[in-house]
A and B are shown apart, each in its own frame.
Chain A
């Protein structure tokens, strides 16, 4: 059968077109004043959680480990970025970019520091040790009031997280992780998930790839943390408790471990739904976590791969499919 193929440069074109279309639509909506302040904050929050979920998906979905300390990396980035922004060393967009980079790099350094020892273990032990590190980071932040504000929190953080900034960060995060996973490094990471011993015997340095995916994940978690700080304007150590790690994990698991599309949809639904529901029905929020927990258990029992499985959306594939159908339809018409 004849296949309707789209050449690679055209695929890039399609993707670039979609990106620009989304950014224009988002920009027009947020700047057009059609949305209130609350909605703007909500959209920014959704973006932050997309970055968190996509970055957690790297070690959890693609590498097949279960880190429970994502909130710790987020906290490190949030405080690093917020402290830089509050110091007012730079102004304008330069300050935003440098602050985000600092947040990412500091978090990535923590990712390596934590990753090297933690990744000697696997499975449940890795889950527990990352949980431990996450909690230690929170305890340290609590107990260094001179730098982090302690339990009182850090206040008056410049609100740098505009829609555009968050959107660009989301794009960069998804793009980097997507390209990483399509490269030979990505195949090495996937093969560690499938069978670590077999991977090692193929001569792949498993420790290197595990630490690398941890560091990349931490980097973006740090950026997400800084964006979170710039959105909220105030940071408290308890924002980054174990429950935050669980919230992010829930998004990734429900969306589908190993599916970027799943993480994005999961983040959009699970972040915006409670806020929208809250407006419709007061007091619904006390049922939120009960529903989440039940969903988590039910999904694990009936569809352990998550709602999207490992499926990833590609516009080019859809166009190819549609094109193939059109082609076949024409052929049939010609025969008759």
Chain B
């Protein structure tokens, strides 16, 4: 029965990774940018939650504020730093993204201090028991809300006009522009959508691990990125799949007593995937044309 408990645990972690990985994957799919600062958006979300809860807001309001705050931050980031670099070489954009990540971490450290702060998002506690298995509510809510968000994302991408525009821009930016699509606003919308998912991910993550530190987002972001690569970057189902895979892997490594090697194991998986199947599990390999 330990197995089922661990599996649910893995699914909880995996759904958080998947939510964050979606943001990486969508942005990469649309402008081929590895948004290094995506993980730090989650850290900012954590601080928003701390302060809005400390101000005595209703938890539901605080959660909405986190999601809105993350979205707003991503839009500001995109407008200030990435829009001027739209036609720059990719290496410059990548370095800018690293710069933003360092900036956010250090601003957080300056304003909120380097010490981790506790964050208790009031979440329904308790559990249900099925036979010998006990499932805690936060776990089930996490998995449920992650799946719900992904279904909504799927609806937006495949059933709405903006989603269609997103897919068009990621397929061929110039052709999309010729068809009258406002490429810039579509890109901004993609960032916003990814950040909103990261906001949901932030709430769920800090329910699982109730401490916020300026560097809280860095490793989380990297692992979510690995999840995106694992599934096939640029692909939405791939990001979900990758998220769950990385979650399961981490729980297996931890459960078998090698918890100090967890980060190493995740990176090792990344390296193996990149070498064996660089396009990821569901991605299509691309051939570079001259």
Contact = CB atoms under 8 A, between A and B. Distances in A.
B257 to A, nearest CB: 13
A296 B99 contact: yes
Contact of B288 (A125, A128, A197): A197
- Output the residue of A121, A242, A301 with the most chain B CB within 10 A: A301
A120 interface: yes
A296 B95 contact: yes
A154 B229 CA distance: 36
B173 interface: no
21 contacts: A64-B91, A120-B278, A127-B34, A129-B271, A132-B270, A132-B271, A136-B268, A139-B261, A140-B264, A142-B260, A242-B218, A246-B98, A289-B105, A292-B102, A294-B99, A296-B98, A297-B103, A301-B81, A301-B85, A301-B96, A304-B88
A135 interface: yes
A249 B99 CA distance: 11
B103 A300 contact: no
Contacts of A300: 85, 88, 92-93, 95-96, 99
A64 B102 CA distance: 23
B178 interface: no
B81 A123 contact: no
A301 B271 CA distance: 31
Contacts of B222: 131
A265 B290 CA distance: 38
Interface of B: 28, 32, 34, 81, 84-85, 88-96, 98-100, 102-103, 105-107, 109-110, 218, 222, 225-226, 229, 260-261, 263-264, 267-268, 270-271, 274-275, 278, 288, 290
Nearest to B263: A139
B95 A253 contact: yes
| Majority secondary structure of chain A interface residues (helix, strand, loop or mixed) | helix
Interface in A269-291: 286-287, 289-290
Contacts of A293: 99-100, 102-103, 106
A128 B229 contact: yes
A135 B267 contact: yes
A123 B90 contact: yes
A312 interface: no
Interface in A286-331: 286-287, 289-290, 292-294, 296-297, 300-301, 304
Nearest to B275: A117
Contacts of B106: 286, 289-290, 293
Indicate the size class of the contact surface on chain A: 35 or more
A290 B100 contact: no
B102 A286 contact: no
A105 B107 CA distance: 40
Nearest to A287: B110
Interface string A59-103: 000001010000000000000000000000000000000000000
A121 B278 CA distance: 8
A129 B226 CA distance: 10
Given A132-B271, A300-B88, A127 B103 contact: no
B237 to A, nearest CB: 20
Nearest to B101: A293
Given A289-B105, A290-B106, 12 more contacts: A121-B274, A123-B91, A124-B94, A132-B226, A135-B263, A135-B267, A197-B290, A286-B110, A290-B110, A292-B102, A296-B95, A304-B88
Nearest to B92: A304
